[in-house]
Chain A
Amino acid sequence: MKRFFAFVKKEFYHIFRDYRTLLILFGMPIAQILLFGYVITTDLKDVKIAVYDPTPSEVSQQLVHKLESSGYFIVDQYLNSPSEAEAIFQKGDVREVIIFEAGLAENLVKEGKGNIQLLIDASDPNMGNLVNQYTQGIIRSYQAEMIDAPAVQGGINVESRMMFNTDLASVYMFVPGTMALILMLISAMMTSISIAREKEMGTMEVLLVSPLKPLQIILGKVTPYVALSFINAVTIIILGNTVFGVPVKGSLILLMGESLLFILLALSLGILISTAAKTQQVAMFISLFALMLPTILLSGFIFPIESMPEILQYISAIMPPRWFIVIIKNIMLKGAGITFVWQETLILIGMITFFIFMSVKKFKIRLE
């Protein structure tokens, strides 16, 4: 044990003496969570719109007011003619032009129906879709208010409630995703780099010849990163909670336990990478390409797995972060207990076993 502690102590020296390592370890999680939380957002906020209303009336004014007071839209300007729309879109600030038909209020009273045309800038399709849905939603709810007795009209009144994330805030999605990304990157990349460094410097030979057992060397390498990654996980949860108000509805202990499990998984993956990588550069390269991109693209972090092509859905099933994201989303947002996430947990444990088995096998071959 004394030998082991001498080793762990040395590892901490390596980490704390290298400002780049420190920066990645502690700067990256905070930067990432703030970036993902604030910048990459799929929520609508203050989208600029333009309005063409040839015959201003109470109806059209109430509608415009309702759009503005929703917080999603700001009226940038009123147009004098519908033909100005194209020029306005080309300028790029305005995302939507709302065109009321002439005599809308009269038509509503006389014929019981009126027309509103929505022109939407769909050069960013996601944004276009959102703008369309939000606008239609607001118009529908206005309509519902206007009609005094919906039952008499015989219409079906649909009332949807967004569960677990009432505001549809995308930061709820990014906190679990970022947590997976950070833990994966830090744990796997840092361990693989630090093991590769021993090889590159030639110190690995000396360690192997010493009375330290290979297992002690590996454990000594990962122990500091388990501790530091865990601190990171806690930081992300606290930041998510205090800055973005992402709740932790389930058991905190379960959440921490699952995080620890995922850290171990990432570390075992890092060890596996290091058995293949001879230099720090190679280790970093493999970590970035094999871990970072799939974590972002295929884990359901940003793009929903259900809407991927079938083949990619299968590939995403072997991505460890995918299952971890499901687990922490369930725990944090839905307050799920272990009875709801045991399957995903088992998958993570299975993956850890597999990676460690592979590492040990490769390590032995290399020693021969």
Chain B
Amino acid sequence: MDTNTIAIKAVDLNKKFGSFSANKDLNFEVFKGEIFGFLGANGAGKTTAIKIICGLSKPTSGDITVAGFDVYAETEKIKKNIGYMSQKFSLYDDLTVWENIRFYAGIYGMSKKEIKEEADKLIDKLGLEHARNKLIGSLPLGWKQKLAFSIAIIHKPAIVFLDEPTGGVDPITRLQFWEMIYAAANDGITVFVTTHYMDEAEYCDRLSIMVAGEIKAIGKPLGLINEYKAKDMDEVFVKLARG
């Protein structure tokens, strides 16, 4: 983690739908190469905030920069510099491993040569050589998940957004998946992750907890556990969510 370089900075981020405030005065910074957990119950406003940071929707007010670009004026540049993976893993079942890689690398504008090189590296790293020309639909869930993550960072983004990336996979695969996340962070990629699993939240460098559109707590996992005199993150979360 490089605490001198800021990857995402939000100052007084507000988003209103009519009179309803989905995000109220969000303030946070995420450093380069940091694994930042973005927690909150369903409906707390996480998705709204992520959409704004990814450049899909405009905030009502506030100053937000992502990878050094302004979310109001430079969404195109932001989009080129981020990666995204959702809980559905978002690969095409009727395309092969290689075709999926080529497609996603292609829409990020990578050249044929680059795609070939990166795809070879990626397939080699995941040990998927035998499955290169197999349809994604025939792969086990755990592999799909790893592949989806590798594809999300194939264009070497500054920041990768993981929206509940470990849904539905077994604990061992989850652990392996977190090893991949650590490796990406070591390479300098900032990881912005949402999750429902509180034990997983403890793997993050820092995390924030949103309740009803506001960030109620932000800090290192251990720090938060001590601060709220809890035995684990689960308890911290429940205490905060209940107010």
Which residues from chain A sit less than 8 Å from chain B, CB to CB? 2-3, 5-7, 9-10, 13-14, 17-18, 201-203, 205-212, 367-368
Contact = CB atoms under 8 A, between A and B. Distances in A.
Contacts of A10: 92, 95, 99, 103
Contacts of A208: 56
A13 B90 contact: no
A194 to B, nearest CB: 11
14 contacts: A7-B103, A9-B106, A10-B95, A14-B94, A14-B95, A201-B90, A203-B92, A206-B90, A209-B54, A209-B161, A211-B76, A211-B80, A211-B107, A212-B107
Contacts of B89: 202
A210 B103 contact: no
B79 interface: yes
Contact of A209 (B76, B82, B94, B102): B82
Nearest to B89: A202
Contacts of A201: 88, 90, 92-93
B95 A205 contact: no
Contacts of A7: 103, 106-107
Nearest to B91: A203
Interface of B: 17, 54-57, 76, 79-80, 82, 84-95, 99, 102-104, 106-109, 161, 163
A205 B107 contact: no
Given A13-B94, A14-B92, A14-B94, A205 B84 contact: yes
Nearest to A13: B95
Contact of B90 (A2, A203, A211): A203
Given A6-B103, A209-B161, A211-B80, 14 more contacts: A3-B107, A5-B106, A10-B95, A13-B95, A14-B95, A201-B92, A203-B90, A203-B91, A205-B163, A206-B104, A207-B107, A212-B107, A367-B57, A368-B17
A332 to B, nearest CB: 38
Contacts, number: 77
Contacts of B17: 368
Contacts of A9: 103, 106
A17 to B, nearest CB: 5
B88 A202 contact: yes
A244 B137 CA distance: 44
A201 B107 CA distance: 18
A3 B76 CA distance: 14
B136 to A, nearest CB: 11
B56 A367 contact: yes
A13 B84 contact: no
Contacts of B54: 209
Contacts of A367: 56-57
Contact of A211 (B79, B88, B103): B79
Contacts of A2: 106, 109
A205 B82 CA distance: 13
B57 to A, nearest CB: 6
Nearest to B148: A206
B56 A210 contact: no
Contacts of B55: 209
A196 to B, nearest CB: 15
Contact of B86 (A3, A18, A205, A210): A205
B203 to A, nearest CB: 24
